[in-house]
Amino acid sequence: MLENSIKSVFNSVWASEKTSPPPELSADTVLLNTGLDSLGFAIFVSSLEDELGYDPFTISQDAYYPQTFAEFVAFYEKFRPAA
């Protein structure tokens, strides 16, 4: 399931960047208020591209930046390549 894959990549990026345990991601968690800075977030998006094989930020023609975890998952869902 996409949401779980994203959570697991988030946790592994968090573990490599931080010493504290990762935060619980719920639908309305604002990702950039979790303590991950821009560089951490960039690494997260790049790791997701390695894991999932696509980057919706690059594919998307709209200038859209998701804020909450739910919006982020929906953004990846929307641009998921057809299997």
The contact set with other proteins (CB under 8 A) reads 16, 30-33, 38-39, 41-43, 45-46, 50, 55, 57-58, 60, 63-68
How would you label 27-55 residue by residue, b for 16+ Cβ within 10 Å and e otherwise?
Answer: eebebeebebeeebbeebbeebeeebeee
Judged by CB, which is closer to other proteins: 2, or 30?
Answer: 30
Taking the complex as a whole, how short is the minimal distance between the CB of residue 38 and other proteins, in angstroms?
Answer: 5
Q: Which residue type, as a one-letter code, is found at position 25?
A: L
The distance of closest approach from Cβ of residue 37 to other proteins in the complex, given in angstroms and rounded to an integer, is: 8
